[in-house]
Structure 1
Amino acid sequence: MKALIFAAGLGERMRPLTETTPKPLLRAGGKPLIAWHLEKLAALGVRDVVVNTSWLAEQFSRALGDGAHWGLRLHYAYEGATPLETGGGMHHALPLLAGADDTPFLAINGDIWCDYDFARLPRAPAGAAHLVLVDNPPQHPHGDFVLRADGGLAASGAAALTFAGIGVYRPSLFADWRATIGAAPGVEATPPRFKLAPLLRAAIARGAATGEHHRGRWTDVGTPQRLAQLDAGLAAESS
């Protein structure tokens, strides 16, 4: 299985830290956020990892090299000066991720930290996507998707959980993506720019998405304060 790490965001809420450092390269627990993912992917047996980049893109290859430090092969997918959003970024990276017969791949947000065990992810999801969900954090109290008792997902409901930014996807998620996205801004750009959420909701509507609830630790490192809290917590554990 191959993997994609989303690392192209501008990190606007993290300024001034991200004025000189891309958010996934900010350090917590003594290493860059993205390094936590790379270690777990290597332990899982993943060998090829695509890192999509935009803001301060040149820093990733300088910091991570070719991935040999982790026993990985890193491939950098530069999106230009304007990030392509999650859907456009994944679509742009598909040539580096997709294999024969709709082979699934793993994708992770580069600006999260969690203790989720990637080995729990299905290597062959039943549908087009399998999402990891977590309890709703204070900054996102209403959640994203509802996890049904049978493992399927619903697009909305009172018991919605938050998408953790960890999932397994099949390239077929992008079949007829233009019809699903519609005339959203950026769709006609080259390469196209669009969000992943509409494709996920379309997959949910046709019963082609599953999920699971991770009840362990998870942090969306979206502000300097949350980064400082995470770093302090990890430092306390290692002392």
Structure 2
Amino acid sequence: MTIRSAMVLAAGLGTRMRPITERIPKPLVEVDGKPLIAYGLEALGSAGLDTIVVNVHYLADKLEAWLSDSGYAVTIADERAELLDSGGGIVNALAELGSEPFVVINADTFWLEDPQATAENITRLIEIWNPAEMDIALMTARPDQATGFDGKGDFVADDSGRLQRYRGEGDPLIYAGALVIDPAIFGTGRPAKFSLNACFNEAIERRRLHGMPMAGLWLTVGTPEAIGEAEAAMHAYRSGNAP
């Protein structure tokens, strides 16, 4: 099926990135000379997604001003009055996103594509989407593909790509900040503020959460100190010296 819409989750407070985020929202923090959000917008544009919604809350005026000058055609989902968390933020934007499946990405994580891959990651994620079997399809990364991740892992996959929560057994996978979701999973009666993790758990219970292994290098930049680490990893990857 054709997927043309996407949402960028950009409303977070970025508290771990202080003092930088005392003056700019985290999506505008620069890594290797480019704001974090720009990496995601470029990936969405390259995949041909032409309806893009960005939610805003913290230092919203600054993020809106950058988006207005960026050349990207985006619609703003305003959460100035109340931060709605990841799930609530998406539900708040459904009028713009529509009733068909769409892509969601985080504004503060990004990746470098594998130049040897047959297609870029968002395109591959859309291509594996199968509404007969999936409520949500997540892009996943192995820990050895990731820079800046300090967790134990999020999921494990079976041979068909179906995901379960990682409980210390099997090969851990990281949720790499991009997904395709069928908005029907939100149903009705949700609280105004809730996390997407609730939807992940519901899809797991129905055996309808699937993963798509990414190709390339995935990066998350949680603190000011992590910026230099990410830039060094990016330069090594581009030069072919990454592990």
Instruction: Give the Cα–Cα distance (whole angstroms) in 1 for the partners of residues 104 and 32 of structure 2.
Output: 22
Instruction: Give the Cα–Cα distance (whole angstroms) in 2 for the partners of residues 66 and 167 of structure 1.
Output: 27
Instruction: Give the Cα–Cα distance (whole angstroms) in 2 for the partners of residues 198 and 39 of structure 1.
Output: 29
The TM-score, its normalising length taken from structure 1, stands at 0.84
> Which runs of structure 1 show a deviation greater than 4 angstroms over 4 or more consecutive aligned residues?
232-238
Residue of 98, 102, 108 corresponding to 2:105: 108
Change (3 A) 1:173 1:47: same
- Number of residue equivalences: 220
Q: Which residue of 1 aligns with 2:138?
A: 131
1:151·1:210 contact (CA, 8 Å) conserved in 2?
Answer: yes
Instruction: Give the Cα–Cα distance (whole angstroms) in 1 for the partners of residues 166 and 229 of structure 2.
Output: 31
Return the offset for 1:4.
0.5
**TM alignment of 1:198-237, pairs within 5 A:** 198-214=198-214, 216-234=216-234, 237=238
Read off the aligned partner of 2:79 and give its amino acid letter.
Answer: E
2:125·2:212 contact (CA, 8 Å) conserved in 1?
Answer: no
Change (3 A) 1:150 1:76: same
Instruction: Give the Cα–Cα distance (whole angstroms) in 2 for the partners of residues 177 and 203 of structure 1.
Output: 17
Instruction: Give the Cα–Cα distance (whole angstroms) in 2 for the partners of residues 32 and 93 of structure 1.
Output: 23
Unaligned stretches of 5+ in structure 2? 114-119
Instruction: Give the Cα–Cα distance (whole angstroms) in 2 for the partners of residues 114 and 226 of structure 1.
Output: 15
Read off the aligned partner of 2:186 and give its amino acid letter.
Answer: F
Secondary structure of 1:193's match? coil
| 2:175 paired with 1:170 | no
Deviation digits for residues 176-209 of structure 1 (CA, Å, limit 9, x no counterpart): 563xxxxxxxx3xxxx111110111111110122
Return the offset for 1:169.
0.6
Instruction: Give the Cα–Cα distance (whole angstroms) in 2 for the partners of residues 230 and 223 of structure 1.
Output: 11
Instruction: Give the Cα–Cα distance (whole angstroms) in 1 for the partners of residues 156 and 198 of structure 2.
Output: 15
Q: Which residue of 2 aligns with 1:184?
A: none
* Greater mean deviation of Cα atoms: 74-83 or 195-204: 74-83
Read off the aligned partner of 2:126 and give its amino acid letter.
Answer: P
Deviation digits for residues 88-108 of structure 1 (CA, Å, limit 9, x no counterpart): 111111111123xxx110010
Instruction: Give the Cα–Cα distance (whole angstroms) in 1 for the partners of residues 189 and 207 of structure 2.
Output: 17
1:55·1:81 contact (CA, 8 Å) conserved in 2?
Answer: no
- Give the aligned CA root-mean-square deviation in angstroms: 2.1
Read off the aligned partner of 2:130 and give its amino acid letter.
Answer: P
The TM-score, its normalising length taken from structure 2, stands at 0.82
